[in-house]
Structure 1
């Protein structure tokens, strides 16, 4: 065994093998993989091996697409047949709403180049007569999909890794990680067989590794404890059963090719052929989380007891859909642990707070993701960044507020929701409410329908006061849900009068100290504001792409208040603090950073009458002018008093209207809320939520992190030239300039269907040629039509350019508009009192 390696991969399942293979393929030597048992002995061995290409997530779709293409090359390289059966995948729909979901899936897939076709019930029956189609609306078929043998593909990747110089060691368990400041000292213990169990021996070795990647599957909670971090990767039981041979199927196969993988999503199950019979896999309710704290030493390549009652509904649904299965028996069953996360996406990327420690945990579709994860993880490790934005999979999307109980219950919910309709406006209910601002109860009493943002409850919109508890759930749709008219009314109120939005979930950091100014000047790409002023700026990756967006408020010469997206608190904090450590380590002055997100509440008031509302309660010798342009200009900060509440007021509005963000001590929030509500009543102020705000910011072409802004586009590609100061030096500048403009962010006005808006996942066309994708979408109250933002080739990013948007399986007219189509000169937002 080597004791000094460039990279140590911990875990010998499909994901670990894929990472080891690709690290070597990208040119790293001295790569070693260790496995505590045998390769594939975790969840890999009992996985069904399906390869579902389609996914609502852009990054995940890319990962799955790479895997499927990569697996087809392994036999030629290694001589091992990975058992890939390219039979296609048939996603059936029993309802029109499910077809709407598939149409959104399909348009998202087009942005990655994945082929598909829609089939009618008659076309399904004609191709596959064993399927009952009378109660179907149709299906989505993707021909390049199929299934693979999980053990075979893992062994093929492992052989390919060995051929590229990777050392693979079995029966070694990691028992300790220690960071020396230059590398990791990883303590390994030799595991031995004893009475059928695998137990530690007295033999130990310490491996010095420059980088470590953990791909420990079901053992993720043990890994987290060894590293001193939190991660919500906890397994849930997953069942599939194997039937006896089906004579009807055998007769069909005499003259026909194999059936595609048959996904009856409305029945929460999938079916595929298996040696003349069928495999039925289920995603049923009440499947329990397992191994919340650790995996027992006695649990190896083991399974749980089958609970047939739990999957009875899905079993009967298989008989309904495939009537020939009614008379055949069961041959085998598998009920094993499959790791999950609360949102179903794996944890892929740098570990929080640690250097050169990389996580690849929480894979519920690990076989599909293994190859692509290896590829993009290797890109991040070797080249500094992946070619796609991996932020949606970053382990730091969950903060330290996350607990084991939260993860276990949310993972059970996520498992149950695998085949439940994935509305883009869905809000799942488990473990809520959890993080609530003080005004939560007041908002709820006034009809607030809440969204879940990094654990926080944030109003999405306000429903009727007499609405039943199921109002929000019943209002969801792939078209315009019941909330749509309410959000429209809120957006109109901000454009015409005044609206109040709770933005407490914003991430907030205080950065100060003698080195603060020099640090932030190099950390961000824009000029720093003067004292009392604010600026919008961006922290870049080493590749010159956008890592984080900040609003910087300068409160003193070396005293700054940074505001960033609420969904990314731990993500932003980790990058900010590590960058400051690097700055100080290179001889920079001392920088003190504090996450004050939970200490400050934020209300945003916006609209032509917002100054009138605040004027009712501001305490000043001259209340009539304190909020005017002379004393309080646009893009400035003032310490004011609203009643008895001290407020750091920032004159900025994400809606593009006259407005202020009111940052206040969280303990005074309910008092301030009551003051604003009383003052607002005199001026017709309306309570508004995040959905209306999202529409309005698109009318101003305000880019949002996680949609238009990410690690796959530079600020210049995002069209943010005015926020980039090329006269100074900053992190990522050279790479940004060298990258050039590969694509350009644009705003489009769309003449779409009367009952639907884009969600920001749709393909863009120039004639019949796919030329880009939307990243945001919604409705414009200012223009009375759909609106969207997205990326196209630079030559198409011209005002007046005619394009098409793929929505509901049709192409709709769209036109590139000028940046900030609503109030392009910012006259409204600068309006004086």
Structure 2
């Protein structure tokens, strides 16, 4: 057996074999070890469905790649993967569900996934066994279907072996040690004893440059061995197999095609044909998480007892939808563990704090994802980045603050939400509130309706404290929800008077030491600011795309305060530390400290913001302390606001005169109260994240995770002014070599009167898809919809007229100049 390889994969389910297949195809010396037999985990009891439907851009690409790969596996390996391409019919009982499907259709269209909408009459005509009188319609994927999980896993395993991969069964990993150059993985052979697998007691080692863990239900054991946190914990999923349905048998005997996989999302189940009967898989409330710490030693290809009472409602709705099933008995049942994560997306990418350690964990749709994850993770490992932005699946999106109870509760919620309407403005309630800033109670009392980012509670908007009868703060919509008018009022306040935003969730890092200046100069694209000044800049991937956006405040010659997106604190910390360590002594000592929890941030913006601060500032010359001469745009000053020491940064994400007020977090409640009192006579309103998102689009301010990501360079994002090509920085040559494949633009849109784009919609010219939105909303300045996105470079000039698809219709959209609101920044620079 090999004892040294370039890549070692731990876990022999569908995901592990998909990764092995692609790494071996890429020419890497690859080995896979499995503690039991291939497919012995969740793979063996999976229903084998291949749902292309997904709201996420990256996940849609992954699923689409998998389906195409599985159709070609037999030609490549000689093994039939058991793929049945019968289609997938997602039925809708409500108009809201149809709106969801139309929003998904926008994502599918940008990815290139074939689909069509069907009326109830068309459904009944094609599949008369399905009851349709209470349906609004359906979304149909003709290329979808199902596959035999064991067969597709074995086919990918064979393909991996054919490409040179070694696969070893009955080997358990018991330890991981990094020796500075490679991983030393301690293993033991597993032997059968009394029906259980037990270690032989004869440990040995495998050395590997890279390790990938795809350990499925054993993710918590993997986390403990690695000394990290992994948010993957299994949840029970049960499905039942019925006896033969005579009506179905008659339908097929007459030469009719197999039914598509049927999904009644409003009833929370899927159904497909199985040997003349039906498989019913519900996603019910109350499914418990299992194995929050470790899978019991004796649990192998085992199942849990079926709990029919828990799925009674779903079972009855199945009978309603397919009436012929009422007299059909149950033939078999399965209730096994399937891994989930708090947001339902898998964990794919670098392990936090560990070099050359890669995670592929938390797959609730592992069969669907296995091929695509193998493809894109192999790209990340061999080419240093995937061709699509994989940040939404990055394992570091869940911070070190995460606990077992949090992951357990959120994963149970994630399971129950599989078929819940996925509104773009949805906020799931489990395990909340958790991380709160000091002014949280004040904000709640003022009507704040909270969202969650990286565990932090953050106001989305402020609704009425005494809500009128019938007003529902929790009402969600794919169109303009109940919050829309309140967000509009907030946005108008910032444009006309002033608004106060709690931005404490921003990620913050302190970088210092003798090597800090040289390191950050290499790490980022822009010139470093002088002491007391700030710059906007970007850190790149090795592929030349955007890893992170930073506001850098230079506090002293060798001390820098870095501010970045709130959802990415651990992601940014890990990248900073790894790259500083990788460069070794080239720049001298660099000290990196995450200080997110030490500093609160209030953003005050609007024409009256200077007047409000003048009420509070304590200085020898308060009348001029905030003037352009004493406090210019893009500078930082230590000031005192009442009794609160504050690092004030003259910048505003909303494009108005404004300051970010960074303060020691323990002063948060005091400073909030002072600002509220001072702002009252100046017309200040409290403002949430949704209004801020609209306003930043009026200024064409790109946001990480939407316009900015690991699939586009800063030059493609139109950020040339923040890229200093006269200096050497990480990823520079790769960025230049990439060229300009597409360009980021801002568009004003004449869309429907009751809806705004969400940032997922396709852009068209003469019926051809030429780009897509990445952000969307409403512009109070222009009185119409606004959006940002990417188009072909030749279509990026202001005045270019395009079409945008929303709710199945095409609407006029025009490319504007960058920063269509106040393009000269006169309002930001206004003196006083």
Same fold (TM over 0.5): yes
- The alpha-carbon deviation at position 587 of structure 1 amounts to 2.7
Assess if the C-alpha contact under 8 Å between 1:84 and 1:148 holds in 2: yes
- Looking at structure 1, the residues matched to 540 and 688 of structure 2 have their Cα atoms a distance apart, in angstroms, of 30
Which secondary structure state, in structure 1, belongs to the residue aligned with residue 200 of structure 2? strand
Q: Does 1:293 pair with 2:293?
A: yes
Number of residue equivalences: 831
Q: Does 1:362 pair with 2:359?
A: no
Q: Does 1:486 pair with 2:486?
A: yes
Q: Does 1:451 pair with 2:440?
A: no
Counterpart residue number, 1:831 = 830
- Looking at structure 1, the residues matched to 809 and 278 of structure 2 have their Cα atoms a distance apart, in angstroms, of 36
Q: 1:471 to 1:349 in 2, by over 3 A?
A: farther
- 1:789-800 matches, within 5 Å, as 789-800=788-799
Which secondary structure state, in structure 2, belongs to the residue aligned with residue 310 of structure 1? helix
- 1:705-720 matches, within 5 Å, as 705-720=704-719
Counterpart residue number, 1:421 = 421
Which secondary structure state, in structure 1, belongs to the residue aligned with residue 827 of structure 2? coil
- 1:693-772 matches, within 5 Å, as 693-772=692-771
- The alpha-carbon deviation at position 630 of structure 1 amounts to 0.5
- The alpha-carbon deviation at position 161 of structure 1 amounts to 0.4
Assess if the C-alpha contact under 8 Å between 1:460 and 1:690 holds in 2: yes
Counterpart residue number, 2:124 = 125
- Looking at structure 2, the residues matched to 182 and 474 of structure 1 have their Cα atoms a distance apart, in angstroms, of 52
- Looking at structure 1, the residues matched to 473 and 792 of structure 2 have their Cα atoms a distance apart, in angstroms, of 38
Counterpart residue number, 1:400 = 400
- Looking at structure 2, the residues matched to 618 and 732 of structure 1 have their Cα atoms a distance apart, in angstroms, of 43
- Looking at structure 2, the residues matched to 167 and 466 of structure 1 have their Cα atoms a distance apart, in angstroms, of 66
- Looking at structure 2, the residues matched to 106 and 274 of structure 1 have their Cα atoms a distance apart, in angstroms, of 29
- The alpha-carbon deviation at position 471 of structure 1 amounts to 6.0
User: Per-residue CA shift, 1:38-95, capped at 9, x if unaligned?
Assistant: 0000000000000011211000000000000000110011111101000000000000
Q: Does 1:560 pair with 2:598?
A: no
Greater mean alpha carbon deviation, residues 505-514 or residues 197-206? 197-206
Which secondary structure state, in structure 2, belongs to the residue aligned with residue 654 of structure 1? coil
- Looking at structure 1, the residues matched to 678 and 400 of structure 2 have their Cα atoms a distance apart, in angstroms, of 38
- The alpha-carbon deviation at position 474 of structure 1 amounts to 3.5
Counterpart residue number, 1:589 = 588
- The alpha-carbon deviation at position 468 of structure 1 amounts to 8.9
- The alpha-carbon deviation at position 684 of structure 1 amounts to 1.2
Counterpart residue number, 2:200 = 201
- Looking at structure 2, the residues matched to 677 and 176 of structure 1 have their Cα atoms a distance apart, in angstroms, of 55
- The alpha-carbon deviation at position 744 of structure 1 amounts to 0.3
User: Per-residue CA shift, 1:435-465, capped at 9, x if unaligned?
Assistant: 0000000000110000000000000000110
- Looking at structure 1, the residues matched to 14 and 474 of structure 2 have their Cα atoms a distance apart, in angstroms, of 40
Assess if the C-alpha contact under 8 Å between 2:190 and 2:198 holds in 1: yes
Greater mean alpha carbon deviation, residues 468-477 or residues 764-773? 468-477
- Looking at structure 2, the residues matched to 481 and 170 of structure 1 have their Cα atoms a distance apart, in angstroms, of 53
Which secondary structure state, in structure 1, belongs to the residue aligned with residue 113 of structure 2? coil
- The alpha-carbon deviation at position 278 of structure 1 amounts to 0.2
Assess if the C-alpha contact under 8 Å between 2:285 and 2:416 holds in 1: yes
- Looking at structure 2, the residues matched to 432 and 199 of structure 1 have their Cα atoms a distance apart, in angstroms, of 41
Q: Does 1:82 pair with 2:81?
A: yes
- Looking at structure 2, the residues matched to 472 and 109 of structure 1 have their Cα atoms a distance apart, in angstroms, of 31
- The alpha-carbon deviation at position 216 of structure 1 amounts to 0.1
- The alpha-carbon deviation at position 473 of structure 1 amounts to 5.3
Assess if the C-alpha contact under 8 Å between 1:426 and 1:473 holds in 2: no
- The alpha-carbon deviation at position 264 of structure 1 amounts to 0.2
- The alpha-carbon deviation at position 467 of structure 1 amounts to 3.2
Q: 1:56 to 1:111 in 2, by over 3 A?
A: same
- 1:124-163 matches, within 5 Å, as 124-163=123-162
Give the TM-score, by structure 2 length. Answer: 0.99
- The alpha-carbon deviation at position 204 of structure 1 amounts to 1.7
Assess if the C-alpha contact under 8 Å between 2:50 and 2:368 holds in 1: yes
- The alpha-carbon deviation at position 581 of structure 1 amounts to 1.1
Counterpart residue number, 1:105 = 104
Q: Does 1:173 pair with 2:167?
A: no
Counterpart residue number, 1:57 = 56
- Looking at structure 2, the residues matched to 466 and 284 of structure 1 have their Cα atoms a distance apart, in angstroms, of 34
- The alpha-carbon deviation at position 246 of structure 1 amounts to 0.3
- Looking at structure 1, the residues matched to 3 and 795 of structure 2 have their Cα atoms a distance apart, in angstroms, of 54
User: Per-residue CA shift, 1:77-126, capped at 9, x if unaligned?
Assistant: 11111010000000000000000000000111000001111000000000
Assess if the C-alpha contact under 8 Å between 1:500 and 1:603 holds in 2: yes
Counterpart residue number, 1:505 = 505
Greater mean alpha carbon deviation, residues 560-569 or residues 249-258? 249-258
User: Per-residue CA shift, 1:389-439, capped at 9, x if unaligned?
Assistant: 000000000010000100000000000000000000000000000000000
Assess if the C-alpha contact under 8 Å between 2:516 and 2:587 holds in 1: no
Q: 1:369 to 1:470 in 2, by over 3 A?
A: farther
- Looking at structure 1, the residues matched to 712 and 470 of structure 2 have their Cα atoms a distance apart, in angstroms, of 40
Counterpart residue number, 2:273 = 273
- Looking at structure 1, the residues matched to 468 and 439 of structure 2 have their Cα atoms a distance apart, in angstroms, of 21
Counterpart residue number, 2:72 = 73
Structure 1 outlier segments of 4+, above 4 Å: 468-473
Task: Give me the CA root mean square deviation.
Answer: 0.9
Q: 1:580 to 1:91 in 2, by over 3 A?
A: same
- Looking at structure 2, the residues matched to 587 and 759 of structure 1 have their Cα atoms a distance apart, in angstroms, of 45
Q: 1:335 to 1:132 in 2, by over 3 A?
A: same
Which secondary structure state, in structure 2, belongs to the residue aligned with residue 305 of structure 1? coil
Assess if the C-alpha contact under 8 Å between 1:537 and 1:552 holds in 2: yes
Counterpart residue number, 2:604 = 605
Counterpart residue number, 1:410 = 410
- The alpha-carbon deviation at position 26 of structure 1 amounts to 1.0
Counterpart residue number, 1:691 = 690
Which secondary structure state, in structure 1, belongs to the residue aligned with residue 327 of structure 2? coil
- The alpha-carbon deviation at position 621 of structure 1 amounts to 1.5
Assess if the C-alpha contact under 8 Å between 1:759 and 1:778 holds in 2: yes
- Looking at structure 1, the residues matched to 575 and 122 of structure 2 have their Cα atoms a distance apart, in angstroms, of 52
Which secondary structure state, in structure 2, belongs to the residue aligned with residue 522 of structure 1? helix
- Looking at structure 1, the residues matched to 232 and 471 of structure 2 have their Cα atoms a distance apart, in angstroms, of 32
- The alpha-carbon deviation at position 372 of structure 1 amounts to 0.3
- Looking at structure 1, the residues matched to 212 and 271 of structure 2 have their Cα atoms a distance apart, in angstroms, of 34
- 1:435-446 matches, within 5 Å, as 435-446=435-446
- 1:619-634 matches, within 5 Å, as 619-634=618-633
- Looking at structure 2, the residues matched to 644 and 656 of structure 1 have their Cα atoms a distance apart, in angstroms, of 28
- Looking at structure 1, the residues matched to 67 and 470 of structure 2 have their Cα atoms a distance apart, in angstroms, of 40
Assess if the C-alpha contact under 8 Å between 1:472 and 1:483 holds in 2: no
Unaligned runs of 5+ in 1: none
Assess if the C-alpha contact under 8 Å between 2:18 and 2:371 holds in 1: yes
- Looking at structure 2, the residues matched to 811 and 293 of structure 1 have their Cα atoms a distance apart, in angstroms, of 51
Assess if the C-alpha contact under 8 Å between 2:81 and 2:147 holds in 1: yes
- Looking at structure 1, the residues matched to 730 and 651 of structure 2 have their Cα atoms a distance apart, in angstroms, of 27
- Looking at structure 2, the residues matched to 819 and 745 of structure 1 have their Cα atoms a distance apart, in angstroms, of 9
Which secondary structure state, in structure 1, belongs to the residue aligned with residue 33 of structure 2? strand
